[in-house]
Chains A and B, each alone.
Chain A
Amino acid sequence: MTIAFFILFSWAMIKAKSQRQVIALSLGGAVAVMVVAPPSVHAQSLWAEIQAVLDAITGIIQTGLDSINTARTAISNSYQNVIWPTQLINQATAQVTQMIAQYQNPMRGILSTNLASATLPPVQQLESVMRNHQIGDFNTLVTNYANAYGPVPSATAASPADRAMTDMDDALTLDNLKTLKATDDTADLTLQAADQLESGASQSAPGSAPFLTATAVVASIQSQAVTQKMLAAELRQEATRLAHDNALRKQGATHTGEFGNQIINLLKRN
């Protein structure tokens, strides 16, 4: 830019034909130099630039860093004093430990109180096997049940309908007694899981507790499923009792009809 200007200016100066043109070119060139020529750097303006950078550092940047610092300090304080105060975390785990000591053993003791009440030997045996929380002795249960309640009548001692009905009654009773032995066992296992979860909670941290709560919910689903199995068994039992009563009603209706016919026949003969 500067070289082009100088060449152009020199050419015009050489070609100028009069003193007047030389003076006009000189004035024009002076104005152009003032406009085009780069300003010289002065010490004063350099210091001003440096001062501007320093002002930016100590002004906007320092203010920004101070703000971040304040915010991070507030977050840290919030974490330690409001969201996860160590004192309250320790207090919570200590409470769990204290409640384990206060409730776990006494409640276990209450539930394991012996409820056996039978007085006669065959019934005592049945009661004992009914309440032993074991699933490996179903054959003993069947034997003890038959000793207490008797077997299904033989084919010569009862009608097929009565035999089928008594067999079904016995079967549903035994089914439910077996189911209860199984659910007693699962209740023990569920209590074991609850004890372990509570013990785990006493040693947990806010970040590890979600694992325990999630597992506790899963254990609740399983417990609910077992309750449903028990309800299903009770439904079968109630339905069978209803069916039994209804079968007797059917027999009664049939017998009443036959009895009426027989009376009518007797009266006709007389």
Chain B
Amino acid sequence: MKQILTKSLDKFKSGLRWAWGHKLRVAVLGMVLAVVAPRPVKSQIIDPCCAILSFGLGTISGTLNRVIGGGLNNISSIDQGIQNFEQTTVWPQSLITQAQTLVGNIQGISTQIQSVIHTSVASATLPAPQQLEQNLLSADSSQISQTGAAYTAVYGSVPDATAAPSDVRNRIDMTDAAAQAAMKRAIEIDQLADLEIQAANQINQSIQSAAPGSAPIIEAQADAWLVRANAYTQAATADLMRVRAIDLANAGADVKTGATNTSNLGQQLMNILKRQ
């Protein structure tokens, strides 16, 4: 231990001797150390930078409060105004609930309509008419294939070629065809109307649980169904017009046949008188 201390003292002494001998170098090293050494933190009281910093931060804080705080307050105030306006004037919850309740009431009326419209109206008493009537009121398009046979059972078939002239047979066949087509169309339209009522009920139920923003989507779907319903109505009207057109054609054909028959009768009477 003593040896180490003695060695250290010797080295220190030799260092001092070197420094004494190299004053310029020690001075340069001292200056460099003074320049690059880290500085201690300056005191707030005696350092003017801290006062400036404090004043600057205070000014920044005031400006933040005034400019950003004031601006945000203004925006918040406007947004609250918009929110109040939307909640009290545009989308008041009480009126939305009231409208949904009204939709429920309309649903009740729809259910009544559905019940009334499906009341049985069958009235035929004899077997063949009963079968045809059942077919016509079935509202089931899968039964259309049986309409022809039920129709023929009541109204008869087209006469044989030996029983009636070809023009009369053609007219009878066309009239039967138009009448049967109209009956078949009536079955289709009844079924379509039932499906429309079913879809309308589904849509109405979804309106009851909709939001003000989603109700217009459901309304768009309902509009599409209405357009479709109009097309079905047009299809039914078209067949009604066809039936009436055939009726008119028959009336015209009857006049034509009458004129021809009258002419033929006159000719035959002339021939008989000539022979006598």
Query: Contact residues of A with B, CB < 8 Å?
Result: 2, 5-6, 9-10, 13-14, 16, 19, 22, 25-26, 29, 33, 36-37, 40-43, 46-47, 49-51, 53-54, 57-58, 61-62, 65-66, 68-69, 72-73, 75-76, 79-80, 84, 86, 89, 135, 138, 142, 152, 161, 163-165, 167-168, 170-172, 174-176, 178-179, 182-183, 185-186, 189-190, 192-193, 196-197, 200, 203-215, 217-222, 224-229, 231-236, 238-247, 249-251, 253-254, 256-257
Contacts and interface: CB of A to CB of B under 8 A. Distances in A.
Given A228-B233, A249-B171, A214 B207 contact: yes
11 contacts: A36-B36, A50-B56, A66-B71, A72-B79, A176-B121, A196-B109, A205-B95, A210-B216, A221-B200, A224-B233, A246-B250
Given A190-B109, A214-B222, A228-B196, 19 more contacts: A36-B36, A46-B52, A62-B68, A76-B85, A84-B89, A138-B121, A168-B155, A182-B117, A189-B109, A205-B89, A215-B103, A217-B223, A219-B110, A221-B229, A222-B113, A227-B233, A229-B189, A231-B237, A239-B180
Interface of B: 22, 24-25, 28-29, 32-33, 35-39, 48-49, 52-53, 56-57, 59-60, 63-64, 67-68, 71-72, 74-75, 78-79, 81-82, 85-86, 89-92, 95-96, 98-100, 102-103, 105-106, 109-110, 112-113, 116-117, 119, 121-126, 128-130, 132-133, 136-137, 151, 153-159, 162-165, 168-169, 171-172, 175-176, 178-180, 182-183, 185-187, 189-190, 192-194, 196-197, 199-200, 203-204, 207, 210, 212, 215-216, 218-219, 222-223, 225-226, 229-230, 232-233, 236-237, 239-240, 243-244, 246-247, 250
